[in-house]
Amino acid sequence: MGENNPFRDTLYKIYTKKMKRPKPKEPGEESDSEEESDLEEEGSDEDFEEEETPEVCPSGCEESLYASVLALRERRLDVDEALVENVKLLDSMQREKETKLKKKKGIDVALETIKRELGEFQKQKQTALNQIDVAVTLYMHQVEYIENAAIPKDLSGGLVFTNASLKQLRATIERHVAEKAALRRLQKDLRKEYAALVRERKAEEENTTDTEQRVIDVQMLRFGQVIDLSVVELIRVRRDTLELKDRVKQQEAEYSAELGELSRNLDDATDELARAMRENSASLYTIADLQEKRNAIEASMKIKARATFRDPLIEKRRDAAEQERLRQIVVRNAQVMDSLEGQLNYAHDNFESIFP
């Protein structure tokens, strides 16, 4: 219709008229009670008073135009309902996101606690292993602890280590000496490069000063005054701004399509996160069982430490077996922790990809 159409205002009122549309019922859903329907009718009478008067095509108006207006009104009502549903869905998704974030924070705190407890366990284990006395048999030709040209009677201040360790320490010293010499040569090269860069910078500054003076001279000869280049730059910036606005509109359309794709993938990512949380809970139960086994091992070690009569050979074998068992437990704990951390990182990456 043009602006001079006599039925424009009437048809516009019909288009914007508020309509009470029945809500679609899902199959198997029970109908509302009479009291609820009465309340809805009483509360909506004020908003939909216009429905009491039947709608008819204005006299003189074309039936096709009137039918088109009614069809447009139905489309508008469909769009409004879809918008309300989308807003409700967005709110529920936001609440679910906040809930997942709170659960994730709790899992992170629990993981940090587990790591700290595992570190304490490593320290206690190492302390317990260091308290175990180990007998080492040495021959006289292996002893190099000399004081006043003789072996002292008290060897408690000596240190026992292998020749391979001594050779490794000497090789480390030689390697450090070589690295130090290489670093000194690199320092000299860098000083030379720095001096060359300083000279180059001075030359560039002198060249820049000459170029600026030449530009001023050319402007004075051609225009009789110095032109502010920032104004020219501002004009170019405005032109670039218009191009950027067009590019932004194009990107907004692309992002709208991506947003629709992300909303479709949200349910899959939520299910994946729930599965990862269940697996993490199972890993936590496994760690709790390992903690109980560790307590049992520590109690067994304390009982063995109180024994009065011990056979050194048997104790040595038992200690070796106990150390091997402890090492296996530590390895299993480390594997469990690596698996748990990998699952958490996977769940965190999926969560961040959906809720950046």
One DSSP character per residue, 49-74 reads GGGGSPP-PPTTS-HHHHHHHHHHHH
Residues paired with residue 150 on neighbouring β-strands, in sequence order? 147
Task: With beta carbons less than 8 A apart as the criterion, state whether 15 and 72 touch.
Answer: yes
Q: Which residues of 4-34 are buried (b: 16+ CB within 10 A; e: fewer)?
A: eeebeeebeebeeeeeeeeeeeeeeeeeeee
Backbone angles phi, psi at 150, to 5 degrees: -155, 160
pLDDT at 46: 47
Residue 247 amino acid letter: R
pLDDT at 117: 94
CA distances from 186 to 182, 189, 203, 279, 299 (A): 6, 5, 26, 52, 58
Residue 322 amino acid letter: E
pLDDT at 39: 44
Separation between Cα atoms, residue 240 and residue 260, nearest integer Å: 30
What's the CA dihedral at 11, 13, 14, 15 to 10 degrees?
A: 90
Neighbours of 294 (CB within 10 A): 19
∠ CA 205-210-214, rounded to 5°: 145
Q: What is the pLDDT along the chain (356 residues), one digit of tens a residue?
A: 666 777 777 777 777 777 766 666 555 555 454 444 444 444 444 444 444 456 777 777 777 787 888 888 888 888 888 888 999 999 999 999 999 999 999 999 999 999 999 999 999 999 998 888 877 787 877 777 888 888 788 877 788 778 888 899 999 999 999 999 999 999 999 999 999 999 999 999 998 888 888 888 877 777 777 766 666 666 666 666 777 878 888 888 887 777 777 777 777 777 777 777 777 777 777 777 777 777 778 777 777 666 544 556 776 777 778 778 877 887 787 787 777 777 767 766 665 565 55
pLDDT at 136: 76
Separation between Cα atoms, residue 80 and residue 73, nearest integer Å: 11
pLDDT at 97: 92
Residues sharing a CB contact under 8 Å with residue 240, sequence separation 6 or more, in sequence order: none
Task: With beta carbons less than 8 A apart as the criterion, state whether 66 and 25 touch.
Answer: no
Instruction: Say how far residue 344 (Cα) sits from the centre of its chain.
Output: 11
Separation between Cα atoms, residue 14 and residue 8, nearest integer Å: 10
pLDDT at 238: 65
Task: With beta carbons less than 8 A apart as the criterion, state whether 17 and 73 touch.
Answer: yes
pLDDT at 329: 80
- DSSP-derived letter for residue 326 is H
